[in-house]
Copies of this chain bind each other. A is one copy, B any other.
Amino acid sequence: MQYHFADRIARAPASFLEELFRVSSDPTIISFAGGLPSSALIDTEGIARATREVMEEEPQVALQYTTTDGYLPLREFIADRYRHRLGVPATADEIQIVNGSQQCLDLFAKLFLNTGDHVGMERPGYLGAIEAFSLYEPVIDTVPLEEDGPDLNAFERLVKKTQVKFFYGIPNSQNPSGRTYSQEKRKAIAEILESSGTVFYEDDAFGELFFDAQPRLPVKRRVPDQAVISGSFSKTVAPGMRIGWMYAPSGILAKFNVVKQAADLHSNFLCQKILHRYLTTHDLDANIRKIVAAYGRKCRLMCELFDDLMPQLTHTRPEGGMFLMATLPAGLSSRRVFDEGVKNKVAVLPGLPFYVDGGGTDTLRLNFSSASDEQIAEGMQRLARVIASLR
């Protein structure tokens, strides 16, 4: 039978993330292509304890339906942390629990985008966002992402002339580039926004993962009514629970709540309860210090091996997060590096899917959080041999 799908389905980019997950599941391949946090750094004992307590004390509540907005004490924990860590006056009323921050991408696009509306993002930009936004059939406009943040002239043109509904960016340790906006650019972005009707969407998946464990202040701090922040426990506690949140002005969040309810009523309550119990009985900051110490070491190792083994490539030098981006010497295609890499048991991700305009064919994204130090050392040697063989 022939099925008559909606037009938006033809716009969906090929499902690259899933492809990758499958490649990455071959245990003989050392993979820098995926985006997993380190399994070894998940506090399984602490989470097991929290789980036991929830199941002993209030299983009937945790296993029943709940409200769409999410578990109030968890939302209060998140709001408190914004206040104390970043000096942002968040309240629980401004927090909506979702299924990992990917769901924010879908619901926010659904909330704002008519077919043909303009939406802005960085170039390169996060693949998961491109996939989510594309299904609402917008025009995606991009702004070059420089070392210290978006090209401000291009950003200003986009916001003032094209009047994008919202601009989506990852100011902290961006995926895929690993770049972080400077404070100067954050300030300039806020000033440009103020004379426009564009909402700024800060995806803050990595803001807790700076290797120096220091906070960077969000753009939203300067334009509270004109910005939203999405967050996630996937990188600081555990991804398998799929608990993230949207932090937004109440005028946006009330409508966001309506689309969330239509999407799946509410996020799974058992994990919300477990997570809240875990967060209030364990030291999240100590856990994060362990994670950033390990990721900082792995990132430096990967950068130094690049410089030592593949001096013909350039690469970013992330201050945090889980990814860096490398640029190949002229004439070398990332697709060939990927194909030859897989044959030689090392996987890297071609940058292509992060460019909505078909660019980036000479770029690679590498993940440094998931592999062990030994795997990074061995994998980078394999990659160096692949690149040498292709020149």
Interface centre among A12, A251, A270 (most CB of B within 10 A): A270
Chain B residues with CB under 8 Å of A266's CB are 242
Question: A313 to nearest B CB, angstroms?
Answer: 28
CB within 8 A of A265: which of B55, B100, B258?
B100
CB within 8 A of A263: which of B117, B165, B263?
B263
Chain B residues with CB under 8 Å of A234's CB are 65
**Is A302 among interface residues, defined by CB-CB distance under 8 A?**
no
Contact indicator A12/B51 (Cβ below 8 Å):
no
Question: A133 to nearest B CB, angstroms?
Answer: 9
Known: A110-B6, A262-B135. A63 touches B99 (CB 8 A): no
Contact indicator A267/B63 (Cβ below 8 Å):
no
Interface size on A, residues (CB 8 A): 89
Interface 9-mer from A39-47, A74-82, A143-151, A354-362: A39-47
Chain B residues with CB under 8 Å of A47's CB are 55, 59, 63
Contact indicator A42/B63 (Cβ below 8 Å):
yes
Contact indicator A7/B240 (Cβ below 8 Å):
no
Question: A48 to nearest B CB, angstroms?
Answer: 4
Contact indicator B55/A44 (Cβ below 8 Å):
yes
Question: A144 to nearest B CB, angstroms?
Answer: 25
**Is A238 among interface residues, defined by CB-CB distance under 8 A?**
yes
Question: A66 to nearest B CB, angstroms?
Answer: 7
**Is A9 among interface residues, defined by CB-CB distance under 8 A?**
yes
A: residues with CB less than 8 A from B are 1-9, 12, 15, 17-18, 21-22, 35-37, 39-40, 42, 44, 47-48, 51-52, 55-56, 59-68, 98-100, 102-103, 105-106, 110-115, 117, 128, 131-132, 134-136, 165, 197, 199, 225-226, 234, 238-243, 249, 251-252, 255, 257-259, 261-271, 274
Question: A40 to nearest B CB, angstroms?
Answer: 8
Contact indicator A240/B6 (Cβ below 8 Å):
no
Known: A264-B103, A265-B128. A36 touches B59 (CB 8 A): no
Question: A55 to nearest B CB, angstroms?
Answer: 4
Chain B residues with CB under 8 Å of A9's CB are 111, 255, 258-259
Tell me, in angstroms, the Cα distance from A255 to B14 when the chains sit together: 10
CB within 8 A of A55: which of B6, B51, B264?
B51
Known: A3-B199, A64-B239. A106 touches B44 (CB 8 A): no
Tell me, in angstroms, the Cα distance from A67 to B5 when the chains sit together: 23
Chain B residues with CB under 8 Å of A112's CB are 3-6
CB within 8 A of A99: which of B102, B251, B264?
B264
Chain B residues with CB under 8 Å of A61's CB are 39, 240
Tell me, in angstroms, the Cα distance from A212 to B63 when the chains sit together: 26
Chain B residues with CB under 8 Å of A39's CB are 60-61, 63-64
Contact indicator A239/B60 (Cβ below 8 Å):
no
Chain B residues with CB under 8 Å of A52's CB are 51-52, 55
What are 21 of the A-B contact pairs (CB < 8 Å)? A1-B226, A6-B111, A6-B112, A6-B113, A9-B111, A40-B60, A42-B64, A47-B59, A48-B56, A51-B52, A52-B52, A52-B55, A61-B240, A62-B240, A99-B264, A102-B262, A103-B264, A106-B264, A132-B262, A134-B262, A268-B271
